[in-house]
Chains A and B, each alone.
Chain A
Amino acid sequence: KAGVTQTPRYLIKTRGQQVTLSCSPISGHRSVSWYQQTPGQGLQFLFEYFSETQRNKGNFPGRFSGRQFSNSRSEMNVSTLELGDSALYLCASSSTGVSNEKLFFGSGTQLSVL
């Protein structure tokens, strides 16, 4: 069974641009979550989607948004990029997103903002 797949693996953007990251969950998983990992702030929860609906959102500005498609694949978008958005963005999937489930992570997209 294929794991969580994130594309692209690396991205370089400049300030003010926008970026879209993609995540394909494990087959059969319907919950997709996104996390940001930085050396300063560590791992922080961005949002979670299930059946194309956002059910939970972390404390990030509105420049960070996401969506989920009917096949459970998810994208996240960051608009008007800032230097501080440079981070490893991790996607995770689980069956339904309830708290007793195992959460499986992808390898991440490393975003560098210049």
Chain B
Amino acid sequence: GEDVEQSLFLSVREGDSSVINCTYTDSSSTYLYWYKQEPGAGLQLLTYIFSNMDMKQDQRLTVLLNKKDKHLSLRIADTQTGDSAIYFCAESITGGYNKLIFGAGTRLAVHP
């Protein structure tokens, strides 16, 4: 079946690294995405990784994919207060025409 799970809350100190974890169930997933949602806003695409890759780095963001365990993580280096938001993990379904399966979202709180 199609299911994506995330922990609901993460609190970090400003300047530390944040790691948000996600597990998915559909082995036919082609791409996995991380989106950010700030209050009252839509979803902002942060980064994505193809299912045959292990890692992708984009400035402060590092995505790690363990396909065997169906585990995806997003690491944010040097976390800032502006990073406070809800982060969604999502998987695309082969032939799904932009049908993404989203996790419930992880609320990241950054404190001084």
Contacts and interface: CB of A to CB of B under 8 A. Distances in A.
Contacts of A103: 33, 45, 98, 100
Interface string A51-87: 0000110100000000000000000000000000000
Given A42-B105, A43-B88, A100 B30 contact: yes
Contacts of A99: 30-31, 92-98
Given A99-B94, A102-B48, A56 B99 contact: yes
Contact of B98 (A6, A48, A108): A48
B107 to A, nearest CB: 12
B63 to A, nearest CB: 14
Contacts of B95: 99
A98 B45 CA distance: 16
Interface of A: 4, 6, 31, 33, 35, 42-45, 48, 50, 55-56, 58, 90, 92, 94, 97-108
